């Protein structure tokens, strides 16, 4: 009996994996998550095999948009009905230089944009506008490799962006080629109208980096 109770307590203490809900009704969600890839860390942790353009020598990317994702308080919708709408080149022009490649932009539309309830032109315009409102703190502007903590990165972002608090941010990390925990992504939670930052739900916080120290690779 004690073992059974202990197992339940341990399970309750573990973060629950966010539940993906495919084919949900478009436009029905609770918040957006703006996922910003820290390119130097993404590329140092094997990202080049997935996004060669982002990791090309001399690309020089720092913080760049991975996606803008509709999210529920628990779980998230994906691959909703596109209603026969596909992005045109003029739609994708809004995120040229904001997202690392056209291929990623098209994939993000299929997986997440179709759940926004917006046409492609408005969805990509929303990505560009959301990206522009996030100021890069000095801590991420350095051209030198740095050691930091997830909490310090959250605080630096909050200090650089009025209305943004650490509980509205999730910092993600992964092991680089040298075995160090490296900054790879920053996720920021926004209201469905994209006008305000808001606290992130537990599903988003569950991805938070657990390493006490992380390396911040510089753009190159």
Q: Which of 61, 112, 172, 217 is catalytic?
A: 112
Is 10 a member of any domain?
A: no
What domain range includes position 165? 19-216
108 catalytic per annotation: yes
73 catalytic per annotation: no
How many angstroms separate the CA atoms of 182 and 172, rounded?
8
Report field, pTM of the whole predicted structure over 0.75: yes
Strand partners, 137: none
Q: Which of 47-56, 118-127, 129-138, 154-163 has the lowest mean pLDDT?
A: 47-56
Is 8 a member of any domain?
A: no
Q: Which of 51, 108, 154, 172 is catalytic?
A: 108
pLDDT band at 17 (very low <50, low <70, confident <90, very high): low
Is 37 a member of any domain?
A: yes
* Angle, CA of 204, 205 and 207, to the nearest 5°: 80
61 catalytic per annotation: no
Is 1 a member of any domain?
A: no
Is 14 a member of any domain?
A: no
Please tell me the total count of domains within the chain.
1
Is 4 a member of any domain?
A: no
Q: Which of 20, 51, 61, 66 is catalytic?
A: 66
Give the model confidence (pLDDT) of 39-53 as tens digits. Answer: 999 989 988 888 888
Is 198 a member of any domain?
A: yes
35-71: b or e for each residue (b if 16 or more CB lie within 10 Å)? bbbbbbbbbbbebeeebeebbeeebebbbbbbbbbbb
CATH at residue 86? 3.90.730.10
Q: What is the pLDDT of residue 5?
A: 34
Q: Is-contact 37 219, C-beta < 8 A?
A: no
Q: How many other CB atoms are found less than 10 A from the CB of residue 148?
A: 16
Is 145 a member of any domain?
A: yes
Residue 137, judged by CB atoms within 10 A of its CB (0-12, 13-18, 19+), counts as middle
pLDDT, greater one: 5 or 152: 152
Residue 127, judged by CB atoms within 10 A of its CB (0-12, 13-18, 19+), counts as buried
């Amino acid at each position: 009996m004690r073992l059974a109770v202990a197992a339940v307590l341990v399970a309750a203490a573990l973060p629950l994996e966010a539940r993906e809900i495919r084919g949900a009704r478009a436009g029905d969600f609770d918040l957006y998550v703006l996922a910003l890839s820290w390119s130097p860390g993404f590329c140092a942790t094997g990202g080049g095999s997935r996004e060669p353009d982002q990791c090309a020598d001399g690309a020089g990317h720092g913080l760049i948009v991975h996606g803008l994702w509709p999210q529920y308080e628990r779980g998230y919708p994906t691959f909703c009905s596109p209603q026969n709408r596909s992005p045109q080149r003029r739609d994708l022009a809004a995120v040229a230089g904001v997202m690392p490649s056209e291929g990623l932009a098209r994939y993000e539309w299929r997986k997440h944009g179709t759940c926004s309830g917006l046409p492609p032109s408005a969805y990509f315009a929303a990505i560009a506008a959301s990206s522009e409102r996030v100021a890069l703190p000095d801590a991420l502007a350095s051209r030198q490799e740095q050691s930091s903590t997830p909490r310090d990165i959250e605080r630096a972002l909050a200090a650089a962006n009025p209305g943004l608090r650490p509980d509205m941010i999730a910092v993600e990390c992964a092991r680089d080629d040298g075995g160090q925990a490296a900054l790879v992504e920053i996720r920021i939670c926004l209201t469905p109208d994209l006008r305000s930052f808001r606290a992130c739900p537990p599903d988003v916080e569950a991805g938070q980096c657990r390493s006490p120290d992380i390396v911040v690779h510089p753009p190159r």
